Amino acid sequence: MRWMVVGAGGALGTDLVARLGAPDAPGAPPTDSVTALTRADLDVTDPDAVRAAVRAWLAAPGEGRAVLVNAAAYTAVDLAETDPDAAAAAWAVNAEAPGVLAAACGDGGATMVHVSTDYVLGPLPGGERRPLEPDDPLAPAGVYARSKLAGEERVRAALPDAHHVVRTAWLYGATGPNFVRTMARLARERDTLTVVDDQHGSPTWTADLADGLIALARSSAPAGTRHAAGGGSTTWWGLARAVLEELGADPGRVRPCDTASFPRPAPRPAWSVLSDGSWRAAGLEPLPPWREALRTAVGHHPELLLG
């Protein structure tokens, strides 16, 4: 296979490139080739540059099925709510760029794997709480969420038979800022931490998601939208307690509060626990349980706990 990873410098992109380049990558034959493009290599908001990059990738010598994985995203969700320039950037990266990438893939006969988010989903009718499926109600609240849904729609429209849209949630990786790293730092700076306990989700280790995306692209699964996140669920408070446990600290130092106690410009989903049903239906192995994944992540990358 021939791979292009867009957004290769981010936490997920870094893991994708590492997994694809490793001898023990999931099912990877030694003849696979990987083109990794960071933000410095490709400005995804420049349509001409995007089309040229995809054409050059597809024209390069090589054999096998071509798969482009789009891991690029604008994720400053609060800034996008308060700053017009940030909102425009979110729309350019999350909505317009995926459409251009997908169209370029269509012109060259490539498949596209596009990473989306739990933020596009809305609450279940009647306040029901169960793991969310891809066909559950959509109700994106905020600039970031609306831009991500628009990106999904453009990918599906441009590549009706050659797309995989994968929604995930609560990502943390070995590189870059994330909740796990922040909690570890705060645990060293403060006697107690106060963390929201009324938002429920599925923490996801980016290395696990990278393995899942690669397995999906290698599979014979038909085009579609699926959910992939760490197994099980918790709250931000529960995840913070788990981080302190990994530090060997007293998790009782983490005190719960409600969302209203920490108002933010961008609304957060109160319930974004993602079902693995669509993943299993495609014959794919679900991602590991979130608590097990956190322990594995810390074991492989102890720098996560250095904050």
Q: Is residue 118 one of the residues assigned to a domain?
A: yes
**26, pLDDT greater than 80:** no
Sorting pLDDT into bands at 50, 70 and 90, what band is 21? confident
Locate tokens 């995809």: which residue? 54
Structural domains of the chain, count: 1
Q: Is residue 296 one of the residues assigned to a domain?
A: no
**Strand ranges across the sheet with 271-272:** 234-235, 200-201, 271-272
Catalytic residues: 144
Question: Over pLDDT 90: what percentage of the chain?
Answer: 92
Q: Is residue 257 one of the residues assigned to a domain?
A: no
- For 197, phi then psi, to 5°, come to -120, 15
Q: Is residue 195 one of the residues assigned to a domain?
A: no
**191, pLDDT greater than 80:** yes
> For residues 109-122, b (16+ Cβ closer than 10 Å) or e, as one string?
ebbbbbbbbbbbbb
Residue 106 belongs to domain with CATH number:
3.40.50.720
pLDDT of residue 63: 82
**307, pLDDT greater than 80:** no
Q: Is residue 215 one of the residues assigned to a domain?
A: yes
- In tens, the pLDDT along 75-93 reads 999 999 999 999 999 999 9
Mean pLDDT, to the nearest integer, of 127-155? 96
How far is it, in rounded angstroms, from Cα 121 to Cα 135?
9
Q: Is residue 297 one of the residues assigned to a domain?
A: no
Give the mean pLDDT of the chain.
95
What pTM was estimated for this model as a whole?
A: 0.95
Mean pLDDT, to the nearest integer, of 127-145? 95
**213, pLDDT greater than 90:** yes
CA distances from 200 to 96, 186, 233, 302 (A): 30, 21, 7, 26
**Range of 65's domain?**
2-177+203-231+273-288
Q: Is residue 236 one of the residues assigned to a domain?
A: no
CB 270 within 8 A of CB 123: yes
115 closest CA partner among 227, 199, 275: 227
- In tens, the pLDDT along 286-305 reads 999 999 999 999 999 999 99
Q: Is residue 132 one of the residues assigned to a domain?
A: yes
